[in-house]
Chain A
């Protein structure tokens, strides 16, 4: 096998009679950053959820490390330990401190020793400048800080792949920058990421590949230069003009 981590092959997803994904194919390689763009309702979030088995698919195939996730012997809990998902609304656990939010997955799901995870968590927190907030509760933090903690919570799982679902869409415009900076750092370190985003400038800077989704169809996929400077499809051009 090559270094393909996640392979989506003609994925179809329906909600009752509405077809949200109509045969989307996309491959993600190790150390690659792919940005998913497209208007709200185009199927970006659903695609991410299908990738970590929060949604079951109605057609096509999804494989991780070359193993099909459709195989009934595949345990979704094990799949999700390799694929981390960060949400638009952060979804930090309000009854746990920042530190306990980060420790929960590695200690309870991966059964790693608490002390080792704690040391790692503190390193991660100091990297985002929030080490001294480790014992605060999430509601004491700003939206941008909460989202950075949510990203760190995912990183603490040491995932092979990070899925990010419009992680800056719920933030004040002034707080978007700090979250995007963190993602830029992660990209520079070679983190494999699939990012659904409305931030076109960010996608242009960071992505290796940009994929444009329109009404459940993957219209066009290519390098940022190609997508943003010379889109082949009329739909892509229209979307980019409106997104500007």
Chain B
């Protein structure tokens, strides 16, 4: 039987504090968190209203009319749809993702190989990851996007800006993803390699059947993190003139002198990245609890 919370006559020391009681008594915990969220959110919005120039900023960035008009576009006024532009970002992201996974794995594979025949490839792969992790993505986008067309090579020099953008993003992100894969492969305990090799499995089947399946599990959360930034970096392709969401917002802004289109583009990116960020966090939490359970 539990005794009353604070019974002054009791000689048992009380473990309840005033602070915890206020926060968590009954359903007040929910109320407290709702209230604090409301206050913080309200304060942020209030900045827009109490600032000296708040009204102007509200009009230029958050005007509902302009947000809607930029989202759907207005062909008669020469305004491109920020919403439709975003479809370009999504397909660029999807295509790049597949290419990056393939290239990244290939480069990681070369880097961890031991075969003497592959030595020159190992050197190249190492140089590749070093170089492209060191150059800002924007510069790679410029170099590919303005460099390749200048060469006048058949097919290669006559692609759309979106294609060059995808090439640049694939080149850069493959370098990152290769390192993620390599770290994942090295995270598998050496005993697994020894056990597989002593069963007479070749190096290739040891990788395929034993090491990679275990590496993939540890690799998924950092991989998703890279893909979240890849989604955002598709916006850089706007600098090449590809008609994607940021470019459409730029056109809207320079034509109407209203920048609500940028806010629409930002909201569209958030709509895509937030679910993925949440999903990644959940995977990390699950992986963590699995490890903790395994450590008993």
CA A151 to CA B275, docked complex, whole Å? 46
Question: How near does chain A come to B207, taking the closest CB pair, in angstroms?
Answer: 12
Contact present for A54 and B197 (CB under 8 Å): yes
Question: How near does chain A come to B231, taking the closest CB pair, in angstroms?
Answer: 30
Taking CB atoms, residues of chain B closer than 8 Å to A76 are 197
**A242 in contact (CB, < 8 A):** no
Contact present for A109 and B205 (CB under 8 Å): yes
Given contacts A95-B213, A108-B209, contact A157 B200 (CB under 8 A): yes
Taking CB atoms, residues of chain A closer than 8 Å to B256 are none
Contact flags A179-193 to B (C-beta < 8 A → 1, else 0): 000000000000000
Contact present for A93 and B195 (CB under 8 Å): yes
**B15 in contact (CB, < 8 A):** no
Taking CB atoms, residues of chain B closer than 8 Å to A81 are 199-200
Taking CB atoms, residues of chain A closer than 8 Å to B209 are 104, 108
Which residues from 169 to 202 on chain A have a C-beta closer than 8 Å to any C-beta of chain B?
A: none
Which residues from 80 to 116 on chain A have a C-beta closer than 8 Å to any C-beta of chain B?
A: 80-81, 83-85, 87, 89, 91-95, 104-105, 108-110
Closest to B193 in A: A91
Contact present for A80 and B205 (CB under 8 Å): no
Which residues from 138 to 154 on chain A have a C-beta closer than 8 Å to any C-beta of chain B?
A: 139, 153-154
Chain B interface residue count, CB cutoff 8 Å, equals 19
Contact flags B153-196 to A (C-beta < 8 A → 1, else 0): 00000000000000000000000000000000000010110111
**B33 in contact (CB, < 8 A):** no
Contact present for B199 and A105 (CB under 8 Å): yes
Taking CB atoms, residues of chain A closer than 8 Å to B202 are 77, 109
Contact present for A80 and B197 (CB under 8 Å): yes
Question: How near does chain A come to B148, taking the closest CB pair, in angstroms?
Answer: 42
Taking CB atoms, residues of chain A closer than 8 Å to B191 are 87, 89, 91
Contact present for A80 and B213 (CB under 8 Å): no
Contact present for B192 and A109 (CB under 8 Å): no
Question: How near does chain A come to B171, taking the closest CB pair, in angstroms?
Answer: 32
Contact residue range for chain A?
20 to 34
CA A118 to CA B217, docked complex, whole Å? 27
Contact present for B194 and A91 (CB under 8 Å): yes
Contact present for A52 and B199 (CB under 8 Å): no
Taking CB atoms, residues of chain A closer than 8 Å to B194 are 54, 85, 87, 91
Taking CB atoms, residues of chain B closer than 8 Å to A85 are 194, 198
**B99 in contact (CB, < 8 A):** no
**B201 in contact (CB, < 8 A):** yes
Taking CB atoms, residues of chain B closer than 8 Å to A70 are none
Identify which of B192, B205, B209, B214 gathers the most chain A CB atoms within 10 Å of its CB. Answer: B209
Choose among A80, A93, A95, A139 the residue that contacts B198 (Cβ–Cβ < 8 A). A80
**B294 in contact (CB, < 8 A):** yes
CA A81 to CA B189, docked complex, whole Å? 22
**B210 in contact (CB, < 8 A):** yes
Contact present for A108 and B192 (CB under 8 Å): no
Contact present for B201 and A91 (CB under 8 Å): no
Q: A108-B209, A139-B294 are in contact. List 19 more A-B contacts (CB 8 A).
A: A80-B197, A80-B199, A81-B200, A87-B195, A89-B191, A91-B191, A91-B192, A91-B194, A93-B192, A93-B196, A93-B210, A104-B199, A104-B209, A108-B201, A109-B199, A109-B201, A153-B199, A154-B199, A157-B199
Residues of A participating in the B interface, judged by any CB pair closer than 8 Å = 52, 54, 76-78, 80-81, 83-85, 87, 89, 91-95, 104-105, 108-110, 139, 153-154, 157
Jot down 8 A-B pairs with beta carbons below 8 A, ordered by A.
Answer: A77-B201, A80-B199, A91-B191, A91-B195, A104-B196, A104-B210, A110-B200, A153-B199
